[in-house]
Amino acid sequence: MKRTGTGMSWLNFSSIALCLGAGLFLLTGCDRSKKEKSQKKEQESAENTVQDWPIFRRDAELQGESLEDLKFPLKLAWSFEPTVEEGKRRLPFDASPVVSDGVIYVGNQEGKFFAIDLEKGTKIWEFEAESSITGPAAVFGARVFFGDTSGIFYALNVEGGSEAWRFEAEDKIEGGVNILESEDGKIRVFFGSHDYFLYCLDAGDGSLLWKHETENYIMATPSIVNSGGNQAVTFGGCDGIFHIISADGTGEPREIEVGSYIANSSSVRDGIAYVAHNGGQVLAVEIESGETVWTVDTGQEYRGSAAVGKKRLYVPSPDKQLVAYDRVTGEQVWAFQGRRSFDSSPVLTKSAVWQAGVDGFLYAINPEDGTELWNWEVGAKIKASPAISRGILVLCGEDGVVYGFQAG
């Protein structure tokens, strides 16, 4: 592992000193009581939290951390199987689901985009796109946004699924969508394309606000973060560069050479972007300065995006491992061994890291030590990432089925 100094004051996780003097032993009972009450309060808060999952990885920084907790073991509450013509195979869901106001939104390789009732698993409406859908959608207000592999970007009305507008890029759109509501009240949507451009559109009418040209395909969902008080868009591409661009399209873009293409999304926390790329490295990059904080060489060609919590970074790997790193130092904390590649991105809750695999299993893994807590065999490869909302974990499989799990 290599580290380059940038000053770590922005991530000060220094250990709290423990005073073990004899005088403190008199207060341990009181302290324990306060601690237990605090833990109980935190647990009740997590149990009572109701959240939406309106974009890939839940929030604009793509952290992959849930505000809700899930109690395992889970049970299969329902499964949604799109209808297919007799004699034809049901095509996979590669896109990760998003959830808003109790409705799941997801598209499949057949080019069908669905609105599904979160509680019941029943279809609300269906929209036919021009071609296959592989990237996650995003929901804001009364509209849901997504792209397809013919290069068309859609805005649909969440009520009824009618088309509000469409925008045509010059090549296919494989990644997901991010959304930003700026201080001037303008809603911007961001997505990348195989035509080498990152696009910024007005969410209201689909007009082009600006676009930024790179040197190769953009395949992942861009992240949005406050960089030095300014909102920035960060993303990697097949040009082997990690890009940092002002969200209003002004100013000089910054480019960080990583030496290999980046097919997944970066996860951002406290001004640091965490990138796992195809060249076999995991990086921590300070967005404001553009400097690399630490680098871990692994030799793996990463496809899934990391989840980042307060203390740790959880990186899914094609070598059948989910690896936890200290996000300040880059030191490996633990590694969980699966049966096959982990191409899906993990979701972090208080009780577990939820990781789906190409082996067809959904795992609940202890976030502290990496031990397996629970698993469920779906029976089909899973490349899409889970979403959690209102006590239900939503998962899409290569068998063309959407699954809803909840606490048993």
Q: Could you report the per-residue pLDDT of 356-378, keeping only the tens digit for each?
A: 999 999 999 999 999 999 999 99
Do the beta carbons of residue 60 and residue 178 sit within 8 Å?
A: yes
More reliable by pLDDT, 150 or 37: 150
Place of tokens 């998003």: 98
Running DSSP on this structure, what letter comes out for residue 328? T
Do the beta carbons of residue 263 and residue 238 sit within 8 Å?
A: yes
Q: Cα-flanking dihedrals φ and ψ of residue 40, to 5°?
A: -65, -40
Strand 223-227 with 387-389, pairing: unpaired
Model pTM score: 0.88
DSSP output for 156-197? EETTTT-EEEEEE-SS---S--EEEE-TTS-EEEEEE-TTSE
Which of 11, 64, 51 is closest to 322 using CA atoms? 64
In the prediction, which pLDDT does 18 show?
30
Q: Could you report the per-residue pLDDT of 126-179, keeping only the tens digit for each?
A: 999 999 999 999 999 999 999 999 999 999 999 999 999 999 999 999 999 999
Q: Which domains does the chain have, with CATH numbers?
A: 60-407 (2.130.10.10)
Q: Could you report the per-residue pLDDT of 370-406, keeping only the tens digit for each?
A: 999 999 999 999 999 999 999 999 999 999 999 999 9
Place of tokens 């939820």: 354
As given in the structure block, the two tokens for residue 327 are: 């996000």
In the prediction, which pLDDT does 186 show?
86
Q: Could you report the per-residue pLDDT of 210-230, keeping only the tens digit for each?
A: 999 999 999 999 999 876 667
Q: Could you report the per-residue pLDDT of 319-335, keeping only the tens digit for each?
A: 999 999 999 999 999 99
Which of 18, 21, 57, 53 is closest to 316 using CA atoms? 57
d(CA 397, CA 168): 28
